[in-house]
Structure 1
Amino acid sequence: MNRFLPHVTVAAVVTDRERYLLVEERNRLRPDATVTVFNQPAGHLEADESLIDAVHRETLEESGWEIALEGYMGLYINTAPNGVVYHSHTFLARPVRRTNETLDDGIIRADWYSLTDIQALECQGRLRSPLVLRRIHDALEDRLYPLTLIRDLDHPDTAS
Structure 2
Amino acid sequence: MTTPDNSSCDVWRPHVTVACVVTDRDRYLMVEEEVNGCVAYNQPAGHLDDLESLQQAAVRETREETGWTVSLTHLIGVHQWRSKEHGQVIVRFSFAAKPLSHDPQQPLDAGIRRALWLTRAEIAALGDRLRSPMVLMSIDEWLAGQRLPLSVVTSLMPGSDAS
TM-score of the superposed pair, with normalisation by structure 2: 0.87
Alignment deviations for residues 72-93 of structure 1 (CA, whole Å, 9 cap, x no partner)? 1121111001311011111000
| Residue of structure 2 aligned with 1:138, choices 136, 141, 145 | 141
Q: Does 1:117 align with 2:125?
A: no
SS of the equivalent of 2:131 reads coil
CA distance in 1, matches of 2:78, 2:159: 20
Letter in 2 for 1:19: R
Larger radius of gyration: 2
Which residue pairs with 1:80 in the alignment? 83
Give the aligned partner of residue 69 of structure 1. Answer: 72
What's the offset of the Cα at 1:159?
3.5
Instruction: Describe the SS at the equivalent of 2:118.
Output: strand
Which residue, out of 51, 54, 59, partners 1:51?
54
**Aligned residue number for residue 15 of structure 1:** 23
Q: Amino acid of the residue matched to residue 94 of structure 1?
A: K
Partners of 1:94 and 1:137 lie apart in 2 by 17
Classify the secondary structure of the residue corresponding to 1:142.
coil
Q: Secondary structure of 1:49's match? A: coil
TM-score computed with the length of structure 1 as normaliser: 0.89
Q: 1:72-115 CA distances to partner (integer Å, 9 max, x unpaired)?
A: 11211110013110111110001111025310000000010001
CA distance in 2, matches of 1:92, 1:63: 15
Deviation digits for residues 3-31 of structure 1, max 9, x if unmatched? Answer: x420111100001111000000002xxx2
**4+ aligned runs moved over 4 Å, structure 1:** none
- Structure-2 separation of matches of 1:116 and 1:158: 36
Q: Which residue of 1 aligns with 2:94?
A: 90
| Residue of structure 2 in register with 1:5 after alignment | 13
The runs of 5 or more residues in structure 2 that have no matched partner are 1-9
Shift of 1:155: 4.8
